[in-house]
Amino acid sequence: MFELDIRSRKPIYEQLVERLKELIITEVLKTDEQLPSVRTLAQQLTINPNTIQKAYRELEIQGYIYSIKGKGSFVSPANDSQNTEKLLKVKNDLMKLLSEAMYLGITADELIEVIKEVHASIGGGIENDQN
Q: Is 56 in the site for DNA (CB under 7 A)?
A: yes
**Partner touching 38 among DNA, a copy of itself, none, CB below 5 to 8 Å by kind:** DNA
Residue among 37 and 106 whose Cβ is closer to DNA: 37
Supply the Cα-derived Rg of the chain in whole angstroms: 18
Q: What are the DSSP E strand ranges found in the chain?
A: 65-68, 72-75
Residue 34: strand pairing partners: 74
User: 30, 76 in Cβ contact below 8 A?
Assistant: no
Q: Supply the minimum distance, in Å, between the C-beta of residue 124 and a copy of itself.
A: 8
Q: Is 95 in the site for a copy of itself (CB under 8 A)?
A: yes
Nearest alpha-carbon partner for 20 in 44, 51, 56: 56
Residues near DNA, by CB under 7 A? 9, 11-14, 35, 37-40, 47-51, 53-54, 56-57, 60, 67-73
